[in-house]
Amino acid sequence: MTTGGESHRTDEEEEDGAASGDAGGAGAGQGAAAADVSKLFEAARRLFKDGDASAAFVTLKHAFARDAGFARLYPLAAEVADSLGFSPESRLFRRLAKAPRDPYLFFGLGMHFFRQNDAELALPFFRQALTLNPPDEDLVFQAIRHLGYANQGAGRFDEAVVHLEKLVAAERDDRGDLLSLAECLIAERRAARAEEILARLDGRGPGDEEEADRSGELGRMLDRLREFPEDGDLGLREWHYVQHRGVLLDLFQDPRPAGGRFVAVWLTVPMVARVLVAARELLRDRGLAIRRVLRAGERAGPLAGAFAGMLGVSCIRWEERASAPPTEGAGADLVVATHSEDLGPMCEQLYPVDGGLVLYAHCLQWTYDQPVLPELCGLMAQMAKMPWEDRLRVAEESDGGRKVVKLPPDARAAEEIAAGLLAEIGKTEVGDATRELVAAYRARKDLLLGSRRPGDRRRMFFAASPIGGVRFG
């Protein structure tokens, strides 16, 4: 590895670069596009030279998205990856630096990032594998297939449909392709075509248990989609129901940045109280009696305590449930987490829906998949801080300027914080918005909340959604 961030090239690499045009491989853009990727390359090289390898790698990702055939990216990417400790990526980049017209290497690099759940980064390498016109028909269809899968993972359902339909037209589709295609068609609100694809799948006979389960769930997803008028707009709440059968209690007022999701939010006590009141009203409307609250994780202490106080039941830790059988009579245990990821360690025990548990997470992390989806979610946020957690605040300075101040976590006991939140709940009225929310969910036919379907199970939360949104990082 060279020092100072300079990208020194061997004679072999210079020859390979010349063979591919150096300013771009077989798929290089022309004119402004080529100039853009060249500028991104130079920016990444400067960042790496200045010691900011992480920013350099982010810039390289943008450059790959513009033109993965730009051969000069790969020696630099290998050095940057080396400095970040990304050894497998460094090896793959070095191989491409030496053979920048090898479609197998591009496909392999795409598969590497696809398996790392980075669909966005995988896409340009799958595209470049096709751009190089490989003679191997199997490679061609594998690249098309994974362009479909990666576009689906990135939430580009329309593009995913284009690629997966090519497999159907060429009679090269398998059961997994049809399942993904049906899901993407539902996301595109093309119900009739989705039904045709599911029928094509059924015509091939029974698959394995997992495929049968997924196929059945897609059929039910199609039924949920048909609960809404074909010409009506579906927002984040509606799609959360269609895709996940879930309840979303709060939305960011301005849908433009992230479709009703929060990007970063520092919650206040009144904000939390308002959402808990909505949850209580919905539980009552669904006829769900809660016998006790189970706290999922230490940071949920104030939230779980206030929830229990609002419902008039006891609150214990999740780990204590087996040794402390409920005494409040019939009803379900309400598992309360501040953040959806806190439910991950217990997800295997949470998958069955047997009427004994109801899951609530105040903040659903929406930028990546979650191992289990709570049926009740307060809001979606990429980053959320509860009122008792550390937070940032903009403070006025004596000279009229402003600065960002980091505030420490609330040092009071969880019980004291919960009492304050419970007092705020007592002052929170049930407004028109809450009544409308409850009425809207009353009309839904397949909510996971309160389900009594035999053998029903909770599922993962998949971040890909028809509702797009900006995110940081």
- SS3 (DSSP) at 90: helix
Calpha distance 366→262 (Å, rounded): 9
**C-alpha–C-alpha distance, residues 279 and 10, integer Å:** 63
* Average confidence (pLDDT) over 279-285: 98
Task: Find how far residue 317's CA is from the centre of its chain.
Answer: 28
**How does pLDDT run across 221-240, given as a tens digit for each residue?**
999 999 999 999 999 999 99
Predicted pLDDT of residue 114 = 97
Q: Left, alpha or beta for 117 (phi > 0: left; psi -120 to 50: alpha)?
A: left
Of 16 and 172, the structure prediction assigns the larger pLDDT to 172
Q: Which band of pLDDT confidence, cut at 50, 70 and 90, is reported for residue 30?
A: low
CA nearest to 96, candidates 41, 38, 20 = 20
pLDDT over 90 percentage in the chain: 81
* For residue 302, pLDDT beyond 90: yes
Ordered domains of the chain (ranges, CATH): 11-185 (1.25.40.10), 245-442 (3.40.50)
pLDDT at 11 over 70: no
Q: What is the mean pLDDT of the chain?
A: 91
First-to-last CA distance in the chain?
Answer: 27
Q: How many residues does the chain have?
A: 473
- CA pair distance 303, 338, nearest whole angstrom: 7
User: CA 19 from chain center: how many Å?
Assistant: 40
Model confidence over 129-144: pLDDT tens digits? 999 999 999 999 999 9
| Ordered alpha helix ranges (H), 316-431 | 347-350, 414-427
What lies within 8 Å, CB to CB, of 404 at 6+ separation is: 392, 393, 394, 395
CA proximity to 420, closest of 388, 376, 390: 388
Neighbours of 199 (CB within 10 A): 11
Q: What is the pLDDT of residue 317?
A: 96
Which phi and psi (to 5°) does residue 386 adopt?
-70, 160
Beta bridge partners of 463: none
Per-residue pLDDT tens over the stretch 36-93: 999 999 999 999 999 999 999 999 999 999 999 999 999 999 999 999 999 999 999 9
CB 256 within 8 A of CB 235: no
122: pLDDT strictly greater than 50: yes
Task: Please say if the pLDDT value at position 8 is more than 80.
Answer: no
Of 2-11, 100-109, 119-128, 405-414, the poorest mean pLDDT is in 2-11
**Percent of the chain scoring above 70 in pLDDT:** 92
Using 50, 70 and 90 to split pLDDT, how confident is the model at 469?
A: confident
- Mean pLDDT across 147-152: 98
